[in-house]
Amino acid sequence: VIEIGDLSKITSANKVIKGKTMGKDKIDEVELQKNRMQKMLAIGQVFRPSAPVNTYTLFAGRRKQLQNIISVLSQAGQHAIIYGERGVGKTSLTNILSEIFRDETNQSWPYVRINCDGQDTFKSIWQKIFRELQIITQKTGVGFVPSTQQKLISLNDFLSDSPQPDEIRYWLQQFGGLSIIVIDEIDRIIDKQTATLLADTIKTLSDHALETKIILVGVADSVDDLISEHKSVERALVQILMPRMSVSELTEIIDKGLSVLEMTIEEQAKQQIATLSQGLPHYTHLLGLYSAQSACQKDSLKIDLDDVQVAIRQAVETIQQSILSDYHKAVSSSRKTIYAQALLACALANKNDLGYFSATDVRAPLAKITGKPYDINAFSQHLNAFCDTPRGPTLQKSGFVRRFKFRFINPLLQPYVILHGLAKGLIDEKTLAEVQ
Ligand SMILES: Nc1ncnc2c1ncn2[C@@H]1O[C@H](COP(=O)(O)OP(=O)(O)O)[C@@H](O)[C@H]1O
Ligand SMILES: [Mg+2]
């Protein structure tokens, strides 16, 4: 079931468009235009590169992570922390929990999701949360038959000026019952004291076996910090890693989206979109969006390889300014250098679940791209340059001498480098397939 308005008109829009391509009926040009617009709108609602998924209908894969969360939420005293690179789908996963967790009467559990920012303190975080939680208060009047007045009050009204973990526990207990509280983007919290108080709160909630479940969400490093500095919370806080999505999970995004749009795609075209996305669903949505629009412009209900080509070029042209400037900063040069090839090789290097690769992983793709073998010493200066100004920092370097690991600071830059390489001819599809 789809709740989004325009999608209900898909079937009729497709019918009009199909009628035209089959040359069957005489179709009013105005009517046809209207239906094409309808279709374009619907495509934009299904493939949404910049917004987290908010309905299970369009949610793909992530079965293992869902299972883990479900098991955490059903265990007394356990809470969860979801961590992974930016853009892998952490927020989307928490968004659909409210659809999944329902009580016996099919009511969803009370669910609150807030985003942290750089200004947040322990108090402001709980203010944001408590604003969303309301309880009923009763006031009994005086008199022979006292009247009672019921009032809905947000928990925020009760919060003291400098709340401590136990006070939070107390009010959540008053609120009572099963509920889910998601605190997203905890990596943006700067204040150290806030992190400590949050960890203490989770410990207190766990010790009192409250039915309120806290889910923290953040990029990996923030989780390391939180856990390593607050060992006592480790038992209460189950860590759930969100790796990049597999190719089959990414193709499921395309399949689910296209089934809502009542469109299809050539198998090869689908595989290409999934592979180019490099595990980041943002790009699957971006390429899905542009290739579906390209097909739609031809009044076709089936996406083919040509549409994907159009989509790649369009994605490269319309990429966010921040990614574009990161790219140019990293590779620009007035002399003939191999910065662009080296960055492309980094983008194609084998990576672990958190996006890390080593210099050794760069060697083979670089040889394929340039057509000649390079010794690690010959390109390690390039890798280092990417880690520093003025070319970066584009990559982040960690580890020890000879065992350095690198990672794209902005994960979204990595697939862009590949798309750009394809669009500008730094690599062709055959070589790309060999490297991957
Ligand atoms: N399981 C999924 N199925 C379909 N699309 C997804 C899924 N997970 C993420 N996406 C899409 O990927 C993009 C990034 O997801 P988001 O949840 O914002 O990532 P994060 O919170 O990790 O930065 C969004 O466009 C979102 O719609
Ligand atoms: Mg997010």
| Ligand 1, atom 23: closest residue by C-alpha | 87
Q: Report percent pLDDT > 70 for the chain.
A: 97
Confidence grade of residue 1 (pLDDT, cut at 50, 70, 90): very low
Beta bridge partners of 149: 139
Tokens 């960055």, located at residue = 343
62 lines ligand 1 (CB under 6 A): yes
Which tokens is 45 given? Answer: 């609602």
In contact, 357 and 346? CB cutoff 8 Å = yes
Distance 279 CA to ligand 1 centre (A): 11
Task: Enumerate residues with CB within 5 Å of ligand 2 (an ion).
Answer: 91
Give the model confidence (pLDDT) of 231-249 as tens digits: 788 889 999 999 999 999 9
The number of the ligand 1 atom at minimal distance from the alpha carbon of 281 is 12
Q: Count of alpha carbons within 13 Å of 384, Cβ hemisphere only?
A: 8
Q: If you measure from the C-alpha of residue 89 to the centroid of ligand 2, how many angstroms do you get, rounded to a whole number?
A: 7
CA distances for 361 relative to 6, 87, 366, 386, angstroms: 46, 23, 9, 16
What mean pLDDT is reported for the chain?
89
Least confident of 175-179, 320-324, 355-359, 425-429: 175-179
The Cβ of residue 391 has, within 10 Å, a number of other Cβ atoms equal to: 20
pLDDT in the model for residue 21: 66
218 Cβ closer than 6 Å to some ligand 1 atom: no
* Residue 201 · residue 123 · CB < 8 Å: no
Quote the pLDDT of residue 23: 63
Q: Which ligand is nearest to the CA of 89?
A: 1
Determine whether the shortest distance from the Cβ of 285 to ligand 1 is under 6 A: yes
- 358 within 8 A of 405, measured Cβ to Cβ: yes
Provide mean pLDDT across the span 373-377: 92
Q: What is the pLDDT of residue 3?
A: 43
Q: What is the 8-class DSSP label of residue 249?
A: H
pLDDT score of 2 = 38
Residue 316 contacts by C-beta under 8 Å, 6 or more apart in sequence?
A: 416, 419, 420, 423, 424
**What is the distance of C-alpha 172 from the center of its chain?**
29
93 Cα–ligand 1 center, Å? 8
In which band, very low, low, confident or very high, does the pLDDT at 146 lie, cut at 50, 70 and 90?
Answer: confident
Q: 301: closest CA among 64, 104, 11, 8?
A: 11
Mean pLDDT of 316-330: 92
Mutate to test the pocket of ligand 1, among 65, 69, 81, 92 (most ligand atoms within 8 A of CB): 92
Supply the residue whose CA is at minimum distance from atom 7 of ligand 1: 89
Closest atom of ligand 1 relative to the 88 alpha carbon: 22
Ligand having the closest approach to the CA of 113: 2
Q: What is the pLDDT of residues 393-433, one digit of tens each?
A: 999 999 887 789 999 999 999 999 999 999 999 999 999 99
Instruction: Tell me if 411 CB under 6 Å of ligand 1.
Output: no
Q: What is the pTM of this model?
A: 0.88
Q: Which of 253, 334, 305 is nearest to 422 (CA)?
A: 305
Q: Let me know the angle formed at the C-alpha of 121 by 119 and 127, rounded to the nearest 5 degrees.
A: 105
180-200 average pLDDT score: 91
Ligand lying closest to the C-alpha of residue 92 = 1
